[in-house]
Structure formats: structure tokens, C-alpha cells
Amino acid sequence: MAGLPERLTKAAATSLLAGALGGAALLAGEMLAAKARRYAKPTMGLALRTSMGPAGAPPLRLVLLGDSAAVGVGVEWLADTVGGQLARLVADGTPETGPRHVLLSSVGVAGSRSMDLATQVARALLGTRPDVAVILIGSHDATSLRAPEEAAGHLAQAVRRLRSAGVQVVVGTCPDLGAMRSMAPPLRQIAGLLGRRMARAQAKAVTEAGGSVVDLGAETGTVFRADAGTLCYDGFHPSADGYRVWAHALYPAVAKATMSGV
């Protein structure tokens, strides 16, 4: 009987190792399956430009920066993108602001990470200075296992450059990746955890850099988890309904930015 504890210990260790290896194999398989999926691609090029609202209303230049969300991957019409829907809300205005003539553009690039924002900021500041910039970034940083603090540091640099140029900045942090149906459990749960870590680091960095923060995961994640229709066919990028949810979440901060002397 003296060897029983040792045998039990070895058996437990063997079971844990087998479980770990099995879990690792499962995750590896899910990662390969996620990578092999057919994902939506940009359909409108890198630069989106349009105007909304009465031509005689006070003008407001709104620019989007970031990843596929800033371009509108997952929908076919500009009006369905988060930028298009946000611009319509701003153009309609409030009793306090009245309607605005919104000049909308996007310098976002699908697949971008926070380190790519420096180039986008330079493009955004070419020519006439925008009044308000909305940055949507973080998903690819999180899923590529970038250190949250490093990615947030690049984001903070972009916010500071825009603020130094006199641009009001609103950042929509990493969305709820646990709501994405392109990944199966438990990979989906792990992605959700990584996304939340990224969002927390982003919120801290953006606030310190002088920007406004909208926690997209906290404010819209429940809707995305409950309604599969908020995602397009690939289960990763938002649909028109999903972008509408994001636009309404971003709008209060953007409306406040438009009244901040821009």
C-alpha cells in the first residue's frame, strides 16, 4: 500500500497531461477551422467619402480610422456601414445642435492592428482637418495575441496626434469577441477573454491620451450574443443590423464631441 499515493499521483498527472493535450488539440483544430472559413472582404475600396444632411447646415467633417469595422466589411452599401449610419444620426442632429452637413470619410484598412494607425492618422490629417475622428480597432490585435499594453500604446499615440491637431477623438474599444460565431467553444470563450483584456487596456490609454471611450463590448455584446442577425454570413464581421447597434452606441460620444468647439 506504500506505493498507492505514488500510483495515484502518477495517474492523476497522466490524466491531467492527457486532458491538457486533448484540450490543446481541440483548440488547434478550432483555430485551423476558424482560419479556413470564408470571410467577408471589403467591397468599397480603402477610402469612403460621402456627405449627408442639408447642404446649408453647418458642416462637420467626420473620419473613421481602424480595421475592417471602419471600412464596413460585411455589408455592400455605404449607408449600412457604421460610418454611414453614424453620419446619418449626426446629420439629423438634436434639438440642441440642429441638423449638420456631415462630410464622411474613412481611412481604415481591413485587417489593421493598432500599430498601423500611424499611417492612417497621417492620411486623415492630409488636406482639411477633420472635426471628429472615430477609431475602431483591437480585434486583430487581440486575436493575433498582441500584448494589450503594447497595442494600447500605439492607439494612444494615434489619439495624441489627432488631439494635437485639434481633432476630437472617439474610440470604440475591442468588441465582444465572445459573440463571434466564426469560432466554436472553447476558442470563442478564450477570444472573448482576450478581447476584454484588450478593451480594458485601450480604455485606460485612450482616456490618458485625451480621447473619449465607448466600450463596445460592454454596451453591445449582449445584443450580439443574443441575435445572430447582427453578424454577416461569415459569423465575424457585423451585418447592417450589427453596425447599426454600434452606431447607436457610439453616437452619444460623437454628438458630445461635435459640441466641444470643433
Catalytic residue among 51, 92, 227, 234: 234
The answer for residues whose C-beta is within 8 angstroms of residue 226's C-beta and 6 or more apart is none
Amino acid found at 117:
L
Which of 145, 143, 147, 172 has the alpha carbon at shortest distance from 159? 172
In the block, residue with C-alpha cell 443590423: 241
Tell me the angle at which helices 187-209 and 148-164 cross, rounded to the nearest 10 degrees: 40
Question: Is residue 141 flagged as an active site residue?
Answer: no
What pairs with residue 63 in β-bridges? Answer: 105, 133
Helix (H), strand (E) counts: the chain: 9, 6
Phi, psi of 35 (to 5 degrees): -70, -30
Q: Indicate which residue of 67, 116, 237, 239 is catalytic.
A: 237
- Report how far residue 212's alpha carbon sits from residue 141's, in angstroms, rounded to the nearest whole number: 20
27 CB neighbour count, 10 Å cutoff: 14
User: Is 237 assigned a catalytic role?
Assistant: yes
Catalytic residue among 68, 105, 112, 139: 68
**β-strand partners of 49:** 105
Q: What are phi and psi of 20, to 5 degrees?
A: -65, -45
Strands of the chain, DSSP E: 48-52, 59-66, 101-106, 132-136, 168-172, 212-214
Q: How far is CA 50 from the centre of its chain?
A: 22
Q: Is 112 an annotated catalytic residue?
A: no
Residues serving a catalytic function are: 68, 234, 237
